[in-house]
Amino acid sequence: MFRSVAGWWSRCLFIGLLAVPAGCDSGRLKTVPVTGTVLWKGNPIEGVTVVFSRGQSSINDGEIAIGKTDAAGKFELTTHFGPQASAPGAVVGNYKVTISKQIPPPNIDPEKYKAMVEAANKIAETGSTVPPNKQPPPLVELFPAAFSGNAATKLTANVTPGGPNVFEFKAE
């Protein structure tokens, strides 16, 4: 009798454990694959942050999807559902789109700027405050506000359930 009860309980536990993962994501909205390309002055550009936002732009509600371009200017979106959950793609819907890339100020060579940042980081690692004359100037936005500003962007995308959801964004 003990063996049959123990076996019954172990089978129930096993079936219960199989059911748990299936129900964990039941509250999360489904995503569909979203990819694309960003062109700057007709050429692919690396290191651009692409943000699709909808509704109130609530990260907890899956209203923000983010990607970063590679050397070919291509990106793939990931939707975040709060600080610890994400899914590839984006939730179906209409989005405002921003593209952004922070670069060194125009009068500073990128390699020189990188060296300034590294020097400031070394000072900060010691626990010291970086003196004003050793701080690198702030980065500047490469794209005009019509592409990079959430309130001013003119870029939009409609993510559909059947796709294909492949977008190209051209900035001049």
Sorted by sequence, the CB contacts under 8 Å of residue 112 that are 6+ apart come out as 104
More confident residue, 63 or 18: 63
Provide DSSP, 101-164.
-EE--TTS-HHHHHHHHHHHHHHHHTTPPPPGGGSPPPPEESS-HHHH-TTT--EEEEE-SS--
Question: Average pLDDT of 122-143?
Answer: 92
Quickly count helices (H) and strands (E) in the chain.
Answer: 3, 14
User: Where exactly does CATH 2.60.40.1120 map onto the chain?
Assistant: 29-101+142-171
Distance of alpha carbon 68 from alpha carbon 66, whole angstroms? 7
> Quick count: other Cβ atoms within 10 Å of Cβ 115?
12
Which pLDDT score, from 0 to 100, does residue 22 have? 40
Low-confidence winner among 18-27, 88-97, 118-127, 151-160 (lowest mean pLDDT): 18-27
Q: Which CATH number applies to 29-101+142-171? A: 2.60.40.1120
Nearest to 63 by CA among 44, 40, 80: 80
pTM over cut 0.85? no
What is the tens place of the pLDDT at every residue in 22-57?
434 446 789 999 999 999 999 999 999 999 999 888
Distance of alpha carbon 95 from alpha carbon 90, whole angstroms? 10
More confident residue, 10 or 134: 134
Contact 39, 168 (CB under 8 A): yes
Question: Average pLDDT of 58-81?
Answer: 93
What integer best gives the mean pLDDT of the chain? 85
Percentage above 90 pLDDT, the chain: 65
What value does the CA radius of gyration of the chain take, rounded to a whole number of Å? 23
